[in-house]
Amino acid sequence: MSTYLNKAMPETARTLENLNFDNSYIRLPEYFYQRVEPSPLEATHLISVNPEVARLLDLDPEELDADSLAHFFGGHAMLPGAESIAMKYTGHQFGVYNPDLGDGRGLLLGEVVNQSGERWDLHLKGAGRTAYSRSGDGRAVLRSSIREYLAGEAMQGLGIPTTRGLCLVGSQEQVFREQIESCAALLRVSHCHIRFGHFEHFFYRGRPDDLKRLADYCIDRYFESSKAAENPYLAMYQEIVSRSARLVALWQSYGFVHGVLNTDNMSILGETFDYGPYTFMDTYQPAHISNHTDQQGRYAFDQQPGIVHWNLSCLAQALLPLIPREALEAELEGFPGQYQTHYLQRMRARLGLLTEASDDQQLIDDLCRLMTQHKVDMTRFFRALCDFTDANSMLESLRLFVPESQELNKWILRYEQRISLEAASIPIRRMQMRSVNPKYILRNYMAEEAIREAGNGNYAPVDELLLLLRSPFDDHPAYQRFADEVPDWAGWIELSCSS
């Protein structure tokens, strides 16, 4: 039985006042975190609540009222049972180790165990200053909070592991970023807030006992099956490597650029974590940099698999007191192969290929090259491909948004040959392809429009996008414009870390 976890089970629907908290992280030694309560935001109001996430916590969305949500998650009162802490972690930022990190503006309010026994972290982002705020104000701005809230749902809709948001609270309080902006708070809900950087902290501080304590906690909570292994820590690391490989393969398959892949933004569960200046690309550009302050392109789209690999090597380094070096190196060596397997698997599915042929990789690589060369909208291209019947009619429909090119024509002919080897009928294949090729994706301009409207006090677009992105594979005729050509101004949007 775990030292930290109490798996009590509630039997009825809950309210905010009686959530089933069981806070395990706070039972670790006090220097793993700082106990600190949220600082109330001025004049708060509810912007949006996500009914699906409410249900994860056994809350009845119909019973939630806006004022209570704004009250509790605007930091005006503690939820009964919550015990808020700022977690200590460190990490490599842009390749450089920074020992001074930690929750500088987000607080872990506690852990809720739902009726199915699932344990969810409740983390309030934008909750005010902590011991780890350095020179920061402890706040999050409305713009980036909306982006994180929408991104969680968009990822969830695509089936990519992610944190999500229960609700978004707005406020009259203002802070300065690149300009004056209004503050907000996001209640982030996730299985896990433990980052690679949590382990780095104890390694670089020279505290192997605490490193072991943290690893034991993670195994108890997340990697129970590792306990049976000869070296449970190695088994845990293997699991982290394989989840991270799968995650980045999914990002690469859908044109997602995280933007700030520092080791403190890497969840040990392989979930997309800490959304900042991220982008789902419109046109496919391997060199795309999502964060305009990342001038070297360290975190450009095509760098991500290599960077996740590098981040895993930082984690390996931190685990050296628990795992033999050779075993860690062997795992790291296996990463590119694991990544490639996941990537091929998803890209094959996106192309409607259920069987494997030896030149599939080449077919995919050539498509990526062509999409780059001709600035093809990736999401629209794959969605159009779902309707493939023959090369000629496909080329005709592609003509609507892809420039004519001999090379592309040739690729479509190759594809026609390749797809003819598949057994599925056209309608079945179409259905299968539509279940992995979204019609809608969270494009920067869509988030930008919702942010602009929210600035004018109109929050309806946030809720509309939340609903749309939850089922991106379905047709939503009322939102057809989001599946059409992106507006010109979409290309001018600039994103930065200042959030």
Q: How far is the CB of 101 from Mg ion (least distance, A)?
A: 8
From the list Mg ion, ligand AMP, none, pick the one residue 139 interacts with, judged by a Cβ distance below 5 to 8 Å according to partner type.
ligand AMP
Of the two residues 152 and 232, which places its CB atom closer to ligand AMP in the complex? 152
From the list Mg ion, ligand AMP, none, pick the one residue 136 interacts with, judged by a Cβ distance below 5 to 8 Å according to partner type.
ligand AMP
Of the two residues 239 and 294, which places its CB atom closer to ligand AMP in the complex? 294
From the list ligand AMP, Mg ion, none, pick the one residue 195 interacts with, judged by a Cβ distance below 5 to 8 Å according to partner type.
none
Among residues 287, 489, 486, which one has the least CA distance to residue 371? 287
Of the two residues 114 and 291, which places its CB atom closer to ligand AMP in the complex? 291
Judge contact between 152 and 163, C-beta under 8 A.
Answer: yes
Q: How far is the CB of 163 from Mg ion (least distance, A)?
A: 11
Judge contact between 262 and 276, C-beta under 8 A.
Answer: no
From the list ligand AMP, Mg ion, none, pick the one residue 276 interacts with, judged by a Cβ distance below 5 to 8 Å according to partner type.
ligand AMP
Q: Residue with CB nearest Mg ion?
A: 274
From the list ligand AMP, Mg ion, none, pick the one residue 101 interacts with, judged by a Cβ distance below 5 to 8 Å according to partner type.
ligand AMP
Whole-number Å distance between alpha carbons of 303 and 308:
9
Of the two residues 244 and 265, which places its CB atom closer to Mg ion in the complex? 265
Q: How far is the CB of 371 from ligand AMP (least distance, A)?
A: 30
Of the two residues 200 and 274, which places its CB atom closer to Mg ion in the complex? 274
| Distant-in-sequence contacts of 70-74, Cβ < 8 A, 24+ apart | 70/44, 70/45, 70/46, 70/169, 71/44, 72/16, 73/44, 73/124, 73/166, 73/167, 73/169, 73/185, 73/187, 74/40, 74/41, 74/44, 74/169, 74/171, 74/185
Q: Does 274 bind Mg ion (CB under 5 A)?
A: yes
Listed ranges 113-121, 202-210, 268-276, 387-395: which one lies at the site for Mg ion (CB under 5 A): 268-276
Q: Residue with CB nearest ligand AMP?
A: 136
Of the two residues 44 and 265, which places its CB atom closer to ligand AMP in the complex? 265
> Is residue 387 annotated as part of the catalytic site, yes or no?
no
Alpha helices in 193-285 (DSSP H): 196-204, 208-221, 232-254
Q: How far is the CB of 123 from ligand AMP (least distance, A)?
A: 11
Rounded-to-10 torsion of CA 161, 166, 167, 173? -80
Q: How far is the CB of 47 from ligand AMP (least distance, A)?
A: 19
Alpha helices in 375-473 (DSSP H): 378-385, 391-398, 406-419, 426-434, 444-455, 460-470
Residue with tokens 């496919």, as numbered in its chain: 284
User: What is the number of helices (H) and of strands (E) in the chain?
Assistant: 15, 12
Among residues 127, 48, 35, which one has the least CA distance to residue 88? 35
- Active-site residue, from 216, 264, 282, 377: 264
Of the two residues 242 and 499, which places its CB atom closer to ligand AMP in the complex? 499
Of the two residues 264 and 331, which places its CB atom closer to ligand AMP in the complex? 264
Q: How far is the CB of 433 from Mg ion (least distance, A)?
A: 35
Task: Please list the residues that pair with 97 across neighbouring strands.
Answer: 92
Whole-number Å distance between alpha carbons of 315 and 199:
7
Listed ranges 60-68, 133-141, 273-281, 485-493: which one lies at the site for Mg ion (CB under 5 A): 273-281
Task: Please list the residues that pair with 185 across neighbouring strands.
Answer: 169
| Distant-in-sequence contacts of 331-340, Cβ < 8 A, 24+ apart | 331/234, 331/237, 331/238, 331/241, 332/241, 334/241, 335/241, 335/244, 335/245, 335/308, 335/309, 336/305, 336/309, 338/241, 338/242, 338/245, 338/246, 339/245, 339/248, 339/249, 339/305, 339/308, 339/309, 340/249
Per-residue x/- track, 207-246, Mg ion (CB under 5 A)? ----------------------------------------
From the list Mg ion, ligand AMP, none, pick the one residue 148 interacts with, judged by a Cβ distance below 5 to 8 Å according to partner type.
none
Q: Does 331 bind Mg ion (CB under 5 A)?
A: no
Residues that bind ligand AMP (CB under 6 A): 101-105, 132-133, 136-139, 260, 265, 274, 276, 497
- Chosen residue from 238, 265, 285, 290 binding Mg ion by CB under 5 A: 265
Q: How many residues bind to Mg ion according to rule CB under 5 A?
A: 2
Catalytic residue numbers read: 264
User: What residues line the site for Mg ion (CB under 5 A)?
Assistant: 265, 274
